[in-house]
Amino acid sequence: MKKILMIATGGTIASRGSVEGLSPQMSCREILGFVPSVSAFCQVETLALFNIDSTDIGPEHWAAMASAVRSRYADYDGFVILHGTDTMSYTAAALSYLLQNIAKPVVLTGAQRPIDREVTDAKRNLTDSFLYAADEESFGVCIVFDGQIIAGTRARKSRTKSFNAFSTIDYPNLAVIRNEKIVRYIREPKPQTAPVFFERMAKDLFVLKLVPGMNPQVFGCLKQHYRALVIESFGVGGIPCSGNNEFLHAVDDWIGSGRLLVMTTQVPHEGSDMGIYQVGVRLKKHYDLLEAYDMTTEATVTKLMWILGNATDFDEMKRLFYTPVNHDIIL
């Protein structure tokens, strides 16, 4: 029987109501008590790392989760991380970069309603997660939610209240679970070499969503605090170029100061392609910048945090950024 470690971090699945709203309060033992059937196919041990709303999760928490998996990697066949849904896609992407080449499953799951409610998605999600984590073919970082198995770098929360909260962006589901059976759409061999663990992630990057009429002086304000900037541009990507070229001057100053610039799109699907329009070609032709293509914003941000924490040379950063990890980019 497979041995699985459940790592609790809080979230809606562990929440109870109060006068100030839902907040995580349940213990691991209480949560497991709602899914007694999992004992039929796996042995579960627990670790309570934190008990917080996922809005409060950040890089230091990702590092703690990665460290928990790393220090216990040899002792368990798989890991199930309970997590709030609001930032779960960021955590799944971050762990994809901190836990690379792993031959065991690291499954993130949670719920849209607490597990002690009469109507809840928590019991199914948790049972499905243990089922997937205990399966011989499973490996890598993924989200299991509403019967979908989504690669850790491809998930996005697309609904705030419905049980089908997550979508996979521009990549197929790895599998689905129907009637407690795993139906795999993508089969890959497990890694045969040793896993590679990382610890450092930098936080000094900013995501700037372009809106019509934005003042380019915002670049100067951001320079005081950040060394990397992700611009969520319009459509396939570009910078406003008409008039006095203020945006191009701002980009020139940003990159000239030794800071990193990454271009992506605010459109949910199909990614960027700066080689189509003049507003993109002009920018990419003249500056050393990175383009996210079909990477999600969640993957782009967390991959940059990992890169900034482990590299300083632009060429090395570029190599790492364009090296696929857990299906994050298709070139």
Instruction: Return the structure tokens found at 91.
Output: 């955590």
Please say if 12 is a catalytic residue.
yes
- Residues contacting residue 23 through CB under 8 Å, at least 6 positions apart: 15, 16, 53
Are the beta carbons of 169 and 271 closer than 8 angstroms?
A: no
Indicate which residue of 9, 12, 127, 153 is catalytic.
12
* Residue labelled with tokens 């940059």: 304
Report the distance separating Cα 98 and Cα 102, nearest Å. 10
Dihedral (C-alpha) 85, 91, 92, 98: value to the nearest 10 degrees?
Answer: -170
Q: 148-151 and 155-157: which strand pairing?
A: unpaired
Kindly state the helix (H) or strand (E) to which residue 49 belongs, with its residue range.
Answer: strand 42-52
Angle 59-72/88-98 helices, nearest 10 degrees? Answer: 50
Active site (catalytic) residues? 12
